[in-house]
Amino acid sequence: MRCVPDIHCFTSANLAYLDRARVLGESLRRHQPGWRFTLCLTDALPEGFTLDLAAEPFDDVVRLEELDIPEPRRWAFGHDIVELSTAVKGPMLCRLLGTGAKVVYLDPDIALFAPLDDLPGLLDRHDLLVTPHMLAPEDRGPPGPINEFNTLRHGVFNLGFLAVRPSPDGLRFAQWWRDRLLDHCLDDAGNHPFTDQEWVDLAPGFFPGLHILRDPGLNVACWNLSRRPVTIGGDGAIRAGGVPLRFFHFTQIQRAVGEEAIAAFAGDDTAVFELVAWYRRRLAAHAATGLPEGWWAYGCYADGRPIPRAHRRAWRASAELRARFADPFAAGPGSLAEHLLAQSPG
């Protein structure tokens, strides 16, 4: 009989984020060695590239095809790279809750700096745990409450973290969220509920067992840094907003915009840049060697042409297209690609 772990943690990522998922896994093994950790892979391995679980900080890898999603490949076509890794979170949550475990989701670009030992106890008392982007009004950084505007556009809670227990209401939340994500996970903030995240703004009303975590050491990121300055004491402890830092969300840190966002809200702190430099070193140590540049199994048509976002949107929007083209990734005469290109202006 297989033992149900106290906490089953998962992340979702394509291979381009494998380095981040590895750093997360490394930090989990250090601070929560008893948790089971699964990578939900929204990608397929290129020829010659292998994932040796014995050498990876994951206990399992679950592929898109293993999730309870009808016609997963055709469904994947309707999503860009961010949307797909986000949309699978609902089905994956349902899958793991079905084992009877309490489930924690963490974004791949998160790293733990201290244990999260209190989560199992909190999940004994609450159905689901969330962390708001912000715990206090913005009072420094660039002019204007930019993070408050952004939070209002992208959702009150940051869904880089979510914890759910397999209680009736926990399962009801997971099923509801899964259903919304299967059909409505879109990266189009302002015009549509933002990906998986903005839907959860409804959850406090729907699910009385939702509990908001208010520990400033959880989910520290550029959007809340102005109220949670990172400091490192003479005792060697890293703190955020004066309390022990437990996990940091390194959003878009591989791009200049990620560090610029941190710099904009870091104020006089340089300790946060030490975290960034450390994270980059860990990413370099965990780079996915041998992965072709720009690889994503669902990124191109069969002839190698990148799939424009407009094609994905058209596929999603049209039941007729979905009925007419069995394999949306096909290329050549009679394909969806040819059809949509013929309709493109110019």
Partner 1 sequence: MPDRVLIPARRAQIAQARPAHHAPHAATAGKPLSRDALAALLSALPRRQPLLLSFSHDDVMQACGGVQNAVREEMAALRKAGWHYLHASPAEPSLAMPPPADAAASLLALRLDGVAIGTAPAACLAAALGALRPARLHAVVHHLIGLQPEAVADVIEAAGLRHPIVWVHDFFSLCPSYRLLRNDAVPCGAPPRGSQACDICVHGEQREAMHGPRIARFFERMRPFVLAPSGSALALWRAGAAGLPRIGEAVQPLMRLGTAPGTLPHGAGGALRIAHPGMRDYGKGWPVFEILAARFAADPRYAFWQIGEDEARPAAHGIRHRPARVGPATPHAMVDAITETGIDVALLWPLWPETFCYVAHEAIAAGAFIVTHQGAGNLPALLRDHPGSGVVLPDTEALLALFDGDGLARALGARRRQFGALLPLGGSAAWLARRGEQDLPARHAMRA
272 contacts 230 by C-beta, under 8 angstroms: yes
Among 73, 171, 278, 330, binds partner 1 (CB under 8 A): 278
Distance CA 72, CA 338 (A): 22
Distance CA 211, CA 120 (A): 13
By beta-carbon proximity to partner 1, the closer residue of 72 and 115 is 115
Min dist. Cβ of residue 232 to partner 1 (A): 5
Min dist. Cβ of residue 247 to partner 1 (A): 12
312 contacts 80 by C-beta, under 8 angstroms: yes
Among 271, 300, 314, 331, binds partner 1 (CB under 8 A): 271
Q: Kindly write down the DSSP assignment for every residue of 192-239, as one continuous string.
A: S-BTTTGGGGGHHHH-TTEEE---TTSSB-TTTGGGS-EEE-TTS-EE
Footprint of partner 1 on 216-235 (CB under 8 A): 232-235
- Does the footprint of partner 1 cover residue 139 (CB under 8 A)? no
Min dist. Cβ of residue 265 to partner 1 (A): 13
Q: Is the dihedral of CA 189, 192, 197, 198 positive or negative?
A: positive
Among 4, 53, 82, 237, binds partner 1 (CB under 8 A): 237
Min dist. Cβ of residue 293 to partner 1 (A): 24
Mask: binding to partner 1, 173-212, rule CB under 8 A, as x and -? ----------------------------------------
Compute CA distances 146 → 143, 173, 249, 263, 344, whole Å: 8, 30, 18, 14, 37
228 contacts 138 by C-beta, under 8 angstroms: no
| Binding piece for partner 1, criterion CB under 8 A, among 33-41, 131-139, 187-195, 236-244 | 236-244
| Site of interaction with partner 1 (CB under 8 A) | 113-114, 232-238, 245, 267-271, 273-275, 277-278, 281
